[in-house]
Structure 1
Amino acid sequence: MTEDQLLGPRAHGEPCGSAVLKAVAEDFQVDEVLDIPLSGEGEHLWLWVEKRNLNTEEAAKRIARAAGVPLKMISYAGLKDRQALTRQWFSLHLPGKSDPDLAAAESDGLAILKRARHQRKLQRGAHSANGFRLRLTELHGEHAALDERLERIKASGVPNYFGLQRFGYEGSNLHGARHFAAKGELPEQRNMRSRLLSAGRSYLFNRVLAERVGDGSWDQARIGDLLAFTDSRSFFPAGPDECDDPRLTILDLHPTGPLWGMEGSPAGDEIQALENAVAETEPAVVNWLAQAGMKHERRILRLPIGGLSWHYPEPDILQLEFVLPTGCFATAVVRELVSLAGQTDI
């Protein structure tokens, strides 16, 4: 499947040029932002880990082997890219045990930068944000046009599409979701089940967002919308007063789209009709998500970009730094700026 089939139209116009991302791991750096003070004592050992060209699940397995504990004793807040240089937290549950020797884990792209004890394990989604430092190389484009586009992105945000990574190479995860949905079955393997269910929900969300980008309402509140703050999972309906809320203008409050589950869309008026129309294009997937017991959730349609800054170390290199809420994709920012030459599945 193509990028446009999996995502949707751009909001800020055609790309201002082309570039390469991830020529080397250091071109895509991610730092987990975790606002949890560690006590220094307890039965959980927390590790601040730097990894290069290694995904989160592989790193967890390596740490578990070195510590001599089952994989289920390892926790992490979120998944990070494989083809990147990333720093994130892990925790090990070690009741009644001293700190293990983890030297065997520290090779081939994994380094433990900090260690600390704490009373509780690291929970999924516990981090508050992710900080990104991206280097776009082999850049072709006028700096003035790129600067103008970046100023617009900084002021207005970008559509909060799920990135191509969510769907696998050439949409393989979505193909898998449709395959199992057609049979009315769930994969037995837990990781595959989670990956395919997520791909199905993400695709439906992207289709709704694509419709809103197409009609120009992705960053506007309409009556019947369900609104949410940037860092909140709760939402509330938009009436006339909510549609004029000044927090919409400062990118603190946003319209949301559906993450499908057992319940139908709780949006109102034309918004519900739009969301239901998208769901009707994939009835097997919608029923399959309900069969799996997924709860209906909401995701903000507009992605605000925190602390966006940029410079050109060389005429053909653009370096970007910014912070995104958890679960959001840096490639959604890059996509509104340039096309990525020869890369379709990052």
Structure 2
Amino acid sequence: MIDTPDTTTEKSGWRTDWPTSGGGRVASAVLKTCPEDFLVDEDLPLPEALTNGGEHLCVRLEKNGDNTDYVARQLATLSGCRHFDVGFCGLKDRHAVTRQWFSIYRPGQEDDDATFLSAVAGNWRVLAHHRQARKLRRGDHSGNYFEVVLRDVSGDQAAVDQALTRLRDVGCPNYFGPQRFGHGGANLDRALTMDPSRLNRRGARNAKKRGRGRSTSGSSDSKNVLYFSAARSWLFNEVLALRVRNGTWLDPMEGEPGTSDSHDIMVTGPLWGDGGTAAVSAQGELERAVIAQHPQLAAVFATTRMQPERRPLKMLPAALDWQWQGGDQLLLKFWLAPGQYATSLVSDVFEITDATRVAGRD
């Protein structure tokens, strides 16, 4: 078994590797040798009521090597609309083959849709399209299907099979992926220098919706939300790491929000806000003690007026299946809910080398 360090940090001092569910990783592997090794297929069931016409043209695209925001901006340029008039459900990996929906605000331009779609097809494969009444928003999708190829797998195959079986049946810690924190934790460094007073509840909500106004400060506000979110996510990971180490990440503690009025208890951790955490009693004390070890990050939330939120501690993939393709190559297939990271799931079993970083393709 490959030991999982408890205090792995980047040069900046930010930890970006956290304890695994099994106490260590059983093998090593290389991820994203080529974009085709990481397929993401967005799961967006579209109610019939949304596909009977409207001001927004929705297109389902397959892209290779382009990140979501870049494609959204290019669609805006091709359509002649503002970049925030293009909607999507979530950010997808750049170094991957991804299939996802975009909505483009094109009122009264139905007769020109064919010409526009032809221009889009010159850049990306158009899989489907329709018109609907509203813009796509973050989180509108049900989840994402993944097909991940791991190469140069080194480790005992039986141990890998056993670890993947446990992952399928029990799940793994629902960590935010390291990409959320920037290279070497750069987004966390910037969170310490941002002005928290500029990030109120309305500002964060509007930035998440990618803005509808014409404010020239929109880009700055979006950056602040990015850094704020990174700080929140890192603190969540720290709390989850402690509960993984002490063996309580699957079981509700005294003080878990919702335990008094529900028999269907979801074990959660804090997305920190002004006022800290909604947990009380033993769980609240644990969460506050962890955050107290990072007073600079905790201070970011003191004047934001952002309400504390919760996030499940467990990630349970649906339809997890795997196939060995020779002795050192493995194909994983699974479905994850929005906001869950495929890299975090794979890293619960494998010590991963990201080929895109080794090759300097970022």
How far 1:185 sits from its partner (Å)?
7.0
1:237 equivalent in alignment to 2:259: yes
Gaps of at least 5 residues in structure 2 are: 1-8, 200-216
Q: Which residue of 1 aligns with 2:38?
A: 28
For the 8 Å contact 2:172–2:316, the answer to whether it is kept is yes
TM superposition shift of 1:4: 8.6
- Is it true that 1:73 corresponds to 2:80 in the alignment? no
User: Counterpart of 1:287?
Assistant: 299
Q: Alpha-carbon deviation of 1:19?
A: 0.6
Give the corresponding residue for 2:231: 200
- Segments of 5+ residues of structure 1 without an aligned counterpart are 227-235, 248-252
Matches of 1:12 and 1:19 in 2, distance apart? 17
User: Is residue 18–residue 339 contact of structure 1 (8 Å, CA) maintained in 2?
Assistant: yes
1:9 to 19, 28, 32: 19
> Which of 296, 302, 317 matches 2:308?
296
Counterpart for residue 255 of structure 2: 224
The offset of 1:107, in angstroms, is: 4.8
User: Aligned pair in 2 of structure 1 residues 185, 284: CA closer, same or farther (>3 Å)?
Assistant: farther
Indicate conservation of the 8 Å contact 1:44/1:95, yes or no.
yes
Corresponding residue SS for 1:88: strand
- The aligned residue for residue 116 of structure 2 is 101
Is 1:148 the equivalent of 2:170?
A: no
2:32 touches 2:356 (CA, 8 Å); kept in 1? no
User: Given that residues 31 and 354 in structure 2 are in contact (C-alpha distance below 8 angstroms), is that contact kept between their aligned partners in structure 1?
Assistant: no
What does 1:1-346 align with in structure 2 at a 5 Å threshold?
1-2=9-10, 5-37=15-47, 38-98=50-110, 99=113, 100-107=115-122, 110-180=124-194, 189-226=220-257, 236-237=258-259, 253-341=265-353
**Cα distance in 2, alignment partners of residues 296 and 339 from structure 1:** 33
Q: Deviations over 1:122-155 (max 9, x none)?
A: 1221011111110001111221111111111111
Amino acid at match of 2:116: D
Could you give the per-residue CA deviations for residues 199-250 of structure 1, whole angstroms, max 9, x where no partner exists? 0000110110011001000011122113xxxxxxxxx1358xx6xx5x6xxx
TM-score (structure 1 length as normaliser):
0.87
Q: How far apart are the structure 1 equivalents of 2:51 and 2:226?
A: 34
Aligned residues: 325
**Displacement, 1:67?**
1.1
Q: 1:44 to 1:342 in 2, by over 3 A?
A: closer
**CA root-mean-square deviation:** 2.3
SS in 2 for 1:274: helix
Secondary structure of residue in 2 paired with 1:138: strand
Q: Residue 112 of structure 1 aligns to which amino acid in structure 2?
A: V
Q: Is the 8 A contact 2:197 2:304 kept in 1?
A: no
Q: How far off is 1:279 after superposition?
A: 2.1
Are 1:66 and 1:102, in contact at CA under 8 Å, matched by a contact in 2? no
Q: Which amino acid aligns with 2:126?
A: I
For residues 299 and 252 of structure 2, the distance between their equivalents in structure 1, rounded to whole angstroms, comes to: 29
Mean CA deviation greater in 111-120 or 297-306:
111-120
Please identify, of 39-48 and 204-213, the stretch whose mean Cα deviation from structure 2 is larger: 39-48
